[in-house]
């Protein structure tokens, strides 16, 4: 039997009453990505049959750490947390807020934010003009820094998953390759 894996998916749909496609990020634990379809539908019920996946990845490595799914009963000592960050930024003259989604293994939120501020996205989507003095890449104000959202992944897994499983974060002895990201328009029945 295949081992359980942590998945990160970018879900999309155009919900009734909206003019543009909306997106959200979903994390789930399963043997294969298609096993997550019922959980995705429960996560975004307003999407109905318009729900699809625009990108997904198995989360097995982040930075120099390996991420594995283990039983809630297993003793795990993670001095670091796996954080999901959603950076927002702007480009001059474009009516759009661009986003960059990233994962970080860090000891705390401050360290994760410092890592985010080193990304090319953060550096290239920040500017200030007379008409747009606050067009900097940003992080939610509640942390007093510049990033839209930063959340420990363990806190946003579906409730039934959190009661059964946990994430084990292990420093890698050698550099680990980045996880492959699958991009495109994936209808749920074709996952």
Look up residue 175 and give its two tokens.
């550099």
CB 80 within 8 A of CB 168: no
Task: Give 142 or 60, the one with higher predicted confidence.
Answer: 60
| pLDDT tens digit sequence for 84-111 | 998 887 777 888 888 889 999 999 998 9
With 0-12 CB in 10 A as exposed, 13-18 as middle and 19+ as buried, what is 159? exposed
Three-state SS for 16-54 is CCCCCCEEEEEEEEECCHHHHHHHHHHHCHHHHHHCEEE
> Distance between CA atoms of 85 and 70, rounded to whole angstroms?
23
pLDDT at position 135, please? 56
Which three-class secondary structure state does DSSP give residue 156?
helix
DSSP-assigned letter for residue 147: B
Look up residue 132 and give its two tokens.
């747009």
**In the sheet that 165-171 helps form, which strands lie side by side, from edge to edge?**
61-62, 65-71, 165-171
pLDDT of 157 strictly over 80: yes
| pTM of the model as a whole | 0.87
CB 103 within 8 A of CB 126: no
pLDDT at position 51, please? 97
* φ, ψ of residue 42 in degrees (nearest 5): -70, -35
Instruction: Indicate the CATH number of 1-60+176-190 among 2.120.10.30, 3.90.930.12, 3.30.2130.10, 3.10.20.10.
Output: 3.10.20.10
């Amino acid at each position: 039997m295949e081992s359980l894996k942590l998945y990160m998916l970018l879900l999309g749909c155009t919900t009734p009453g909206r003019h543009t496609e909306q997106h959200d990020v979903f994390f789930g634990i399963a043997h294969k990505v298609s096993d997550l379809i019922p959980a995705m539908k429960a996560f975004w019920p307003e999407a109905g049959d318009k729900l699809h996946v625009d990108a997904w990845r198995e989360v097995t490595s982040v930075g120099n750490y390996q991420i594995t799914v283990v039983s809630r009963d297993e003793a795990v000592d993670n001095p670091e947390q796996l954080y999901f960050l959603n950076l927002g930024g702007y480009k001059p003259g474009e009516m759009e807020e661009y986003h960059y989604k990233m994962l970080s293994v860090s000891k705390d939120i401050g360290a994760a934010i410092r890592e985010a501020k080193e990304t090319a996205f953060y550096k290239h989507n920040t500017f200030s003009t007379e008409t747009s003095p606050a067009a900097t890449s940003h992080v939610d104000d509640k942390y007093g820094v510049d990033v839209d959202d930063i959340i420990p992944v363990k806190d946003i897994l579906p409730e039934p998953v959190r009661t059964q499983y946990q994430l084990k974060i292990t420093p890698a002895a050698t550099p680990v390759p980045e996880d492959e990201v699958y991009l495109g328009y994936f209808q749920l029945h074709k996952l």
